[in-house]
Amino acid sequence: MLSHKFKVGQNAFMRPAVAEKRPASTPVSITRLLPVEGGEPLYRIRVDLGGQERVVRESQLNAAGTVGASERPPAAMTPMPIIKEAHSKAGRKKS
């Protein structure tokens, strides 16, 4: 008998489906363990951003902290370091 890899209350990442336009995994919380269907455990999850709930297969989930490089959030969601540029007066033309 297959057992569930995730537990209720555990945080995970839902992988984007091939047809979906989301570039990165979505953070989710496991809300319920569902029966095995088609040889794979099912889960009821809540999307952390927005609160929508849905049912997913275990193969659609990654454990929190194990997101692959291709599934990391896009750069727009990642904090960027502040870079201070040195302005030089020597390179400017006088009008």
Q: Residue 38: what pLDDT?
A: 92
Domain boundary assignment for the chain: 11-64
pLDDT for the residue numbered 69: 43
What span, in angstroms and rounded, lies between the C-alpha atoms of 84 and 52?
Answer: 41
Q: How far is CA 38 from the centre of its chain?
A: 25
Render pLDDT for 34-92 as a digit per residue (tens, 0 to 9): 999 999 999 999 998 888 999 999 999 998 876 554 444 544 455 556 666 665 555 55
